[in-house]
Structure 1
Amino acid sequence: MSERVLLIGHGSRDDEGNRAFLAFARRVQAAYPKRRLETCFLELAEPDVPTGVAACAEAGASRVIALPLILLAASHVKLEIPELLDHARLRHPGLSIDYGRNVGMHERVLDLLVDQYQAAARGTGSPATPSGPGASTFGATAAARAEAAQTGAESTAIVLMGRGSSDPDANGDLYKMARMLWERTGVATVEVCFSGITGPRLPEGVRRAVQLGAARVVVVPYFLFTGVLLKRMARLLEDLQAQHLGVPMRMAGPLGEHPGLVDIVIDRVEEAAAGAAHMNCGFCTYRRHAVHAHGGGV
């Protein structure tokens, strides 16, 4: 069976973000010669998803593993991409299309967040040596507290910033990640904020951290690549720094800069190839609407 992996990026009005996605896809392909990759974008850039599927078919693929390179699962992952893939199945009846899970709640994403925070706290760039597989130690609060006392992390606040969604299930996942990040790092607090759509927003997250007595603030974006939103948030953080001169503030890099993301994506592809990709739909507002629309109960 001839297979292709279709890596689906969100797309951005900022071409730098689109180039970052394509560069990342090349890194995945270099590390994963087992399957050929095609790339496409959900919106704001070309090629789009139908064109990406068509490219796989034209290359002779009989099976496509479509993987959304998106962090939190909201309408894009739960509704829009599945609908596009359904239409593609009708246009390409001989093509098998399997849909993989989004990146967001993979267990190793926490490792990436920790590394990005630590790199920003040290004032350095992206980590040269990522945490290896199995490096996560969930619930290691006591050890984290001991290390924090030596490094000054116990007086640091992390502000974990997501995009924001109208789906409470997706927003709730960010709060879950924030709790695990607090346990892993031993910082004073991990505050959650969003860049848009819902609250609290970045100014509220930073001000809460300052009011709680943080000696420094590190904003950790739950974003994959740079783009319009992330650059806007960086400028906003500069304004917030001017309002709180006594509390140093830094913003970590997006997760796509971390070399460990490649392994996570490969893991998601392998999971989908084995037919083991399952979505968390129990609290999904879209699922509830769909069930009611078809006359069912929740």
Structure 2
Amino acid sequence: MAPPLVAVAHGSRDPRSAACISALLDVVRAQRPELDVRAAFLELSAPRVPEVLSALAAEGHREAVIVPLLLGSAYHARVDLPGLVAEARARLPRLSVSVADVLGPDERLSTLALRRLAATGVSLEDPSLGVVLAGAGSSHPRANAAVAAVAESWARRFPVAGVLPAFASAAEPSVPAAVAELRARGALRVAVASWFLAPGRLPDKVARLAGDAVVAEPLGPGSELASLVADRYAAALAPVAQYA
């Protein structure tokens, strides 16, 4: 039997966030019905990671694979989650816990973000359109650079007035600064694409800061995202299978 897939999201006080994660995992289950897929959260939502791993151990599972539902390798991926996993390994010695890579970078995230942007009614063939790609922001420069790299790829791909990254916190430019820069470049309209997995406080902040710009929905429970989660799980298992 394949080990359970424990999908670990950040968590939020906003109930829409947990509902979005639940919907995403329903798509994963539909795509991979043979897998035991469970949700866990780092904070603010239940169940938390230690609770889920304890339950798996109590059920007799000997192995579990954590797939971080995180778009980049920032603080939660580099510090919070490894700390929880280390604690679980010490507390639950009979349960082997593997951790998959974070979701990004992957072209499927870009595809889904573009689909959410197109759903607002804007055209990426419009040379008067400016696009902001808004992410959470991190004190870790590489996480911010990953968002900027996606924005740069869109700027090369589409004949718009410009595409700029922006961040809700901890990094620059801010959303208002990016919108102002695009208007200075000649954009007559501005649309904000979302580099957020689910609704919550920071996406709402982006929407408030965007002014009269059109704002796309977060990535949400798309089929591309579900297949990416399953692929991260499979990749984490591959080394085990190779040496079994």
> Where on the TM-score scale, by shorter chain, does this alignment land: which range?
over 0.9
State yes or no: 1:259 paired with 2:223.
Answer: yes
Quote the Cα distance in structure 2 between the aligned partners of 1:170 and 1:63: 30
| 1:255 alignment partner, SS class | coil
State yes or no: 1:175 paired with 2:148.
Answer: yes
8 Å contact 1:121–1:218 — kept in the other structure? no
Gaps of 5+ in 1: 124-147, 242-248, 277-298
Q: Which residue of 1 aligns with 2:200?
A: 227
Report the Cα offset of residue 204 of structure 1: 0.4
* Correspondence 1:33-112 to 2 at 5 A: 33-112=33-112
Rate the CA distance shift 1:122–1:176 in 2: closer, same or farther, 3 A: closer
Worse-matched range after superposition: 43-52 or 249-258: 249-258
Q: Which residue of 2 aligns with 1:273?
A: 237
Segments of 4+ moved more than 3 angstroms? none
| 1:225 alignment partner, SS class | coil
Higher RCO (CA < 8 A, seq sep 6+): 2
Q: How much identity, in percent, do the aligned residues show?
A: 33
8 Å contact 2:192–2:216 — kept in the other structure? yes
* Correspondence 1:79-228 to 2 at 5 A: 79-122=79-122, 151-152=125-126, 154-228=127-201
Q: Deviations over 1:43-74 (max 9, x none)?
A: 11111111111122223221100011011111
Q: Deviations over 1:237-262 (max 9, x none)?
A: 2xx22xxxxxxx21111111433211
8 Å contact 2:62–2:95 — kept in the other structure? yes
Quote the Cα distance in structure 2 between the aligned partners of 1:183 and 1:120: 21
1:159 partner amino acid: V
Quote the Cα distance in structure 1 between the aligned partners of 2:91 and 2:63: 14
Report the Cα offset of residue 98 of structure 1: 0.7
Gaps of 5+ in 2: none
Q: Which residue of 2 aligns with 1:131?
A: none
| 1:206 alignment partner, SS class | helix
8 Å contact 1:113–1:181 — kept in the other structure? no
Q: Which residue of 2 aligns with 1:23?
A: 23
8 Å contact 1:114–1:185 — kept in the other structure? no
Count of residues paired in the alignment: 240
Report the Cα offset of residue 2 of structure 1: 5.2
Q: CA RMSD in A?
A: 1.7
Quote the Cα distance in structure 2 between the aligned partners of 1:119 and 1:13: 27
Report the Cα offset of residue 120 of structure 1: 2.0
8 Å contact 2:135–2:147 — kept in the other structure? yes
- If the length of structure 2 is used for normalisation, what is the TM-score? 0.92
8 Å contact 2:134–2:206 — kept in the other structure? no
| 2:160 alignment partner, SS class | coil
Report the Cα offset of residue 197 of structure 1: 1.4
Between structure 1 and structure 2, the one with the greater Rg is 1
Quote the Cα distance in structure 1 between the aligned partners of 2:185 and 2:133: 16
